[in-house]
């Protein structure tokens, strides 16, 4: 059994002799037509280009020396008209780069990041090479000037994007530093810690007791400082705590300072990190002058020493 070949048959019949049959498949016929059409298209385009350059050459060669100089002068004047906006864009880009440079320094200092030199002169050296101070305008044509303007406009758009990014980074860094200022760090006064957080024998009752903070030794009237900025939510006398100050900082975190001889702040007052908020004493249930210091998260007291270690590990480098 034989299968028929799909395609097209072309029969050539000469005046003399036998006729000849040529078989072409559909694929080969399609490729042949495609090659023929492409040849006609590009051939037509080449002829048009040839005629254009031939006409331009005839126009230039037919001009006198004076007419040629006049034509060149007109082109130079057109170039000179294109240069002022180019210089204006370049000057604005330099100003933007200086702004970026200063913002970058500020952001890196605030976030304790490594320095990175974004010197505007170095960054714009490529622009100066192409757009800065054309000494030989005869070697520069109008198309190059237009192309350069487009490049500078693109550079301006990139610089605008960088400025926006730096401003966002600046806002983010300000917010980060503000939050960091509200994070308790260190202790309210320099002194020995005894006892620490956790189970202990109560110094007055002599029974096992859960200590919700740390006791820091000091002398009577010594400055007690806030370990982070925040708002005073309690400043009063409270039973065994004696004179106590509680400061709310952020995200459910509070700090407590007890047994003060005197409270120096009032409820609702905002305090800064390191601000003196009380004087050390032994009011309430206390056997000696010291400050009972607590770090609270929600309703739960957490170990101030462990909290400080965690803060140090996550401090900005």
Residues 247/255, Cβ–Cβ less than 8 Å: yes
pTM of the model: 0.49
Place of tokens 């004087």: 279
Half-sphere exposure of 276 (CA within 13 A, CB side): 8
pLDDT tens digits, one per residue of 177-224 = 677 788 898 999 998 888 888 887 777 777 778 888 999 999 999 999
What would the pLDDT profile of 76-123 be if each residue is shown by its tens digit? Answer: 777 777 777 777 777 777 777 777 777 777 777 776 666 655 555 555
What's the confidence (pLDDT) of residue 179? 76
Mean pLDDT score, 241-253: 92
Listed residue (81, 89, 77, 78) closest to 131, CA to CA:
89
Residue 200: beta bridge partners? 209
Contacts of 40 (CB under 8 A, 6+ apart): none
- Tell me the CATH class for 198-313: mainly beta
Q: How high is the mean pLDDT of the chain?
A: 76
Give the closest residue to 130 by CA, choosing from 112, 111, 149, 116. Answer: 149
Lowest mean pLDDT among 45-59, 186-200, 225-239, 240-254: 45-59
Res. 56: pLDDT tops 70: no
């Amino acid at each position: 059994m034989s299968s028929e070949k799909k395609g097209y048959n072309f029969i050539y019949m000469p005046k003399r002799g036998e006729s000849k049959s040529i078989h072409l498949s559909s694929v080969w016929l399609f490729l042949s037509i495609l090659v023929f059409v492409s040849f006609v298209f590009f051939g037509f385009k080449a002829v048009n280009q040839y005629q254009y350059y031939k006409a331009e050459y005839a126009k230039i060669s037919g001009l006198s020396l004076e007419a040629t100089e006049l034509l060149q002068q007109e082109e130079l004047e057109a170039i000179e008209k294109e240069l002022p906006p180019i210089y204006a864009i370049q000057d604005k880009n330099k100003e933007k780069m200086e702004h970026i440079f200063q913002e970058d320094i500020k952001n890196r200092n605030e976030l304790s990041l490594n320095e990175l030199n974004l010197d505007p002169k170095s960054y714009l050296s490529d622009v100066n090479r192409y757009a800065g101070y054309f000494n030989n305008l005869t070697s520069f044509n109008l198309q190059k000037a237009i192309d350069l303007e487009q490049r500078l406009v693109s550079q301006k758009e990139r610089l605008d994007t960088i400025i926006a990014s730096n401003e966002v980074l600046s806002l983010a860094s300000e917010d980060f530093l503000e939050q960091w200022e509200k994070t308790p760090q260190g202790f309210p006064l320099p002194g020995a810690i005894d006892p620490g957080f956790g189970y202990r024998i109560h110094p007055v009752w002599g029974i096992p007791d859960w200590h919700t903070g740390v006791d820091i030794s000091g002398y009577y009237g010594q400055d007690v400082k806030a370990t982070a900025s925040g708002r005073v939510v309690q400043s009063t006398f409270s039973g065994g705590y004696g004179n106590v100050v509680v400061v709310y900082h952020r995200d459910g975190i509070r700090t407590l300072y007890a047994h003060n001889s005197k409270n120096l702040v009032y409820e609702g007052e905002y305090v800064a990190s390191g601000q003196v908020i009380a004087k050390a004493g032994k009011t309430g249930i206390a056997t000696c002058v010291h400050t009972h210091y607590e770090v609270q998260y929600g309703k739960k007291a957490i170990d101030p020493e462990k909290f400080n270690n965690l803060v140090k590990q996550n401090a900005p480098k």
